[in-house]
Structure 1
C-alpha cells in the first residue's frame, strides 16, 4: 500500500461556502460600524455648531484651569478651557519683584456646550467681582469676559498652532 492511497481526498466546497458567509458577515459588520461612526461624527459636528466660546482678557494670579472650571460650571456645562501662558520675561520680572511665584496666565478661552449659556455668562459676569471668600486670592479681581460670536474652537487651535513670524 502506498502513502497516497491512505490519504483520502478532502472536499473543501463546504468550507468555502462557510468561509464566504463569514466574509459577508464581516463586511456587513464593518459596513455597519462605519455607518455608526459616520452617524456619531455627524452628531458631534451638529453639537459643535451649538457650542459657544467666551474670551477672558485677563486671568487673575493664582487662577488655574481647574478653579476657573469650578467657578464657571455653576452657570452651565464647560466643555474646554485654554489659558495662554504668561510671557516668560514678564514672569521672571514678576518673580524677582516678589510677586506670585506660581505659573501665571495672560488670557483665556472657555468653551460652553451651548451658545445661549456662553452669551448669558458673558453678559452676567462682565465687569462683576469674581468674588469667592474674602480670603480668596482673587476676591477683589473683576471679570473681563466677552462672548465671541461666530468663533469656533478650531479657529483658536489654528491661531495657536501658527508660528510667530
Structure 2
C-alpha cells in the first residue's frame, strides 16, 4: 500500500507592525528676549536643533521703537517634535547664547522653559483674553479721566459763577455806599456786658450835661428879658419908679 505522506503547511503569522505615533508639537517659553532680537533671528537660532513650527514674540509696549527694530518682552517657540522641545529647554536654559564674539548676544543668557501639555491654541486663547482685559482696563481708565475732567470743569464753572455774584454785590454796595472802596465790609460784633454798661454810663453823663446847659441858657434869656423890660419902663416913666 502506498503511504500517502501529508505535509502540513506551516503558516507563520506575521505580527502587525506598530503604527508610528504622530509627532506631537511642543512649545517652549522664552521669559526674556535679548534686545534687538526678532522672529527671524529666533528661528535661525532654534532651527538648528529641530524643525520649528510657529514663533510668537510679545512686543514691549512701554519701550519706544528704535530705528534698528522693535523690543520684545517674552516669546513662544513651537517645535514640531515635543521631544526636541524638551531637550532644547533642558540643555539651553541658563546658558550663553554664544555665536561669534562680535555678536551683541554672545554673552546673553537664555531663560527657557518647556510648557507641558501646552498647545498653540492655548496661547491664542491666552492672548485673546489678555487683549480683552487690556481693552477693558483702557475703557476704565478713560472713564476715570473723563470723571476727573468733568469734576474740575464743574468746579471751575461754580467758581466763575460765585466770582460774578461777588463782583455784582460789590458793585451794588459801592453805588449805595458811596466812598466805600471795593472789598470793604462792615462787621458788627455783639456787645459784651461791660461794653453795654460803659455805653449806658456815657449816655447818662451826656444827658446830664445837656440838661444843665439848657438850664443855664434859660437863666441867661430870663435875665436879658428883665433887663430889657426895666429899661423900657425907665424911658417911658421919665426915670421915676412906680413906687414914687
Q: Give the shorter-chain TM-score range.
A: 0.5 to 0.7
Q: Which blocks of at least 5 consecutive residues in structure 2 are unaligned?
A: 1-20, 137-244
Q: Could you say which residue in structure 2 is the equivalent of 1:142?
A: 109
Selected match of 1:86 from 60, 71, 86? 60
Question: Normalization by structure 1: what TM-score?
Answer: 0.63
Residue 68 (structure 1) aligned with residue 35 (structure 2):
no
In the comparison of the two structures, how many residue pairs are matched? 112
Distance in 2, Cα, partners of 1:55 & 1:116: 15
Preserved contact between residue 55 and residue 148 of structure 1 (Cα < 8 Å) = yes
CA RMSD of aligned residues (A): 1.9
Secondary structure (helix, strand or coil) at the match of 1:53 reads strand
Residue 77 (structure 1) aligned with residue 51 (structure 2):
yes
Distance in 2, Cα, partners of 1:136 & 1:109: 23
Secondary structure (helix, strand or coil) at the match of 1:119 reads helix
Secondary structure (helix, strand or coil) at the match of 1:123 reads helix
Q: Could you say which residue in structure 2 is the equivalent of 1:160?
A: 127
Moved over 2 A (4+): none
Selected match of 1:117 from 84, 91, 96? 84
Q: Which blocks of at least 5 consecutive residues in structure 1 are unaligned?
A: 1-45
Distance in 1, Cα, partners of 2:110 & 2:36: 14
How far apart are residue 101 of structure 1 and its match? 5.4
Q: Could you say which residue in structure 1 is the equivalent of 2:182?
A: none
Q: Could you say which residue in structure 2 is the equivalent of 1:11?
A: none
Counting only pairs closer than 5 Å after superposition, residues 98-113 of structure 1 correspond to structure 2 as 102-113=69-80
Q: Which has the higher strand share?
A: 1
Preserved contact between residue 62 and residue 138 of structure 1 (Cα < 8 Å) = no
Distance in 2, Cα, partners of 1:68 & 1:132: 13
Distance in 1, Cα, partners of 2:80 & 2:27: 9
